[in-house]
């Protein structure tokens, strides 16, 4: 899900991630590996159910982990069993492993019973992403479980009712956000070709449908409010850091602004629709080069 090719063809996968082609075969590596573990700690400060009037999520929201049963076949189905949110006030990197232990212990599931590990891979907080992905990679390497990387933008919208083209805005900084569209159709892509044209070379070709939304999804990349206003969206998903310019753009086109619905069960329900990632190569999705790296390079030291 990295920088894509021009046009609308097959999506070019990010390093360590196979392309998305609809529901994936969920056959466990070994017969006893019938459970799936999902991790969502990508945006720990961006989940506030009280401020999420547009969320209809049927599962708990917040950083945490979820356990599910891998159903046989190729329907992309994982049956949710239980969720465990990280302890309030605890650092997500301190409570992640204990939360996994609490979750699996409550259901009598051991590491060797895990056939798939899914993780919300970004964009998001630097520490939360790296800790979660490191834990997921280590478990996958140790148990032989499959590793699935779920874009955090899809996790953010997983608890929302489908309502036409929806713009998910993450990693807000100054007047730009990392944007992903969900619920788009081929007709929408054609109608908004002019608005998307300046982003050619940045935008990822539209991915195949990923439930629970009809239509397809499209990672656009970094945009300003002027682009958001031209995309014909019905809803914008953004946290408390969403620039005022985007809220004004939403009001100007009659789009609703809602809070993200991050929760581990959202990742659990999505991970069956993504290809296996190579634990050795899997990396977080970062929307921008770290400032320290940029400054180092500007000083002529990179």
pLDDT of residue 156: 93
Helix extents (H) in the chain: 92-107, 126-143, 152-157, 186-191, 193-196, 225-229, 244-253, 264-270, 291-298
pLDDT of residue 207: 64
215 in Cβ contact with 185 (< 8 Å): yes
pLDDT of residue 75: 62
pLDDT of residue 205: 57
What values do phi and psi take at 101, rounded to 5?
A: -65, -45
pLDDT of residue 120: 98
Topology, domain 35-151+261-294? Nucleotidyltransferase; domain 5 (3.30.420)
pLDDT of residue 50: 52
| Strand, helix or coil for residue 97 | helix
Domain ranges of the chain: 35-151+261-294, 160-258
* pLDDT tens for the 302 residues of the chain, in order: 333 333 323 333 443 444 444 555 444 445 578 999 999 999 987 655 454 555 566 678 899 999 999 998 766 689 999 999 998 776 667 899 999 999 999 999 999 999 999 999 999 998 899 999 999 999 999 999 999 999 999 999 988 876 788 999 999 999 999 999 998 888 888 888 888 877 754 555 566 655 555 668 888 999 999 999 999 899 999 999 999 999 999 999 999 999 998 999 999 999 988 899 999 999 999 888 767 677 777 787 65
pLDDT of residue 10: 32
23 in Cβ contact with 76 (< 8 Å): yes
76 in Cβ contact with 272 (< 8 Å): yes
pLDDT of residue 95: 93
Round to the nearest angstrom and report the end-to-end CA distance of the chain. 26
What is the spatial distance between Cα 4 and Cα 217, in angstroms, rounded to a whole number?
A: 13
């Amino acid at each position: 899900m990295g920088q894509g090719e021009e046009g609308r063809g097959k999506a070019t996968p990010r390093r360590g991630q196979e392309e998305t082609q609809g529901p994936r075969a969920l056959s466990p590596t070994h017969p006893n590996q019938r459970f799936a573990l999902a991790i969502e700690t990508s945006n720990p400060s961006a989940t506030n159910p009280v401020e999420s009037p547009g969320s209809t999520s049927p599962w708990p929201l917040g950083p945490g982990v979820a356990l599910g049963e891998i159903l046989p076949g190729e329907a992309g189905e994982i049956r949710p069993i239980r969720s465990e949110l990280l302890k309030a006030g605890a650092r997500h990197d301190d409570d992640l492993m204990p939360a996994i232990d609490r979750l699996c212990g409550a259901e009598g599931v051991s590491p060797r019973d895990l056939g798939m590990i899914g993780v919300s891979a970004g964009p998001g907080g630097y520490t939360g992403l790296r800790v979660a992905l490191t834990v997921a990679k280590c478990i996958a390497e140790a148990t032989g479980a499959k590793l699935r990387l779920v874009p955090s933008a899809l996790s953010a919208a997983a608890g929302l009712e489908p309502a036409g083209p929806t713009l998910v805005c993450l990693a807000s900084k100054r007047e730009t956000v990392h944007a992903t569209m969900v619920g788009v159709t081929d007709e929408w892509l054609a109608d908004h070709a002019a608005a998307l044209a300046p982003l050619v070379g940045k935008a990822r070709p539209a991915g195949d449908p990923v439930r629970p939304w009809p239509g397809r999804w499209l990672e656009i990349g970094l945009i300003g409010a002027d682009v958001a206003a031209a995309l014909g969206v019905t809803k914008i998903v953004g946290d408390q850091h969403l620039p005022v310019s985007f809220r004004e753009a939403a009001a100007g086109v009659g789009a609703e602004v809602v809070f993200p619905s991050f929760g581990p069960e959202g990742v659990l329900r999505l991970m069956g629709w993504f290809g296996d990632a190579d634990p050795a190569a899997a990396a977080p999705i970062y929307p921008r080069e770290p400032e320290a790296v940029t400054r180092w390079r500007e000083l002529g030291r990179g």
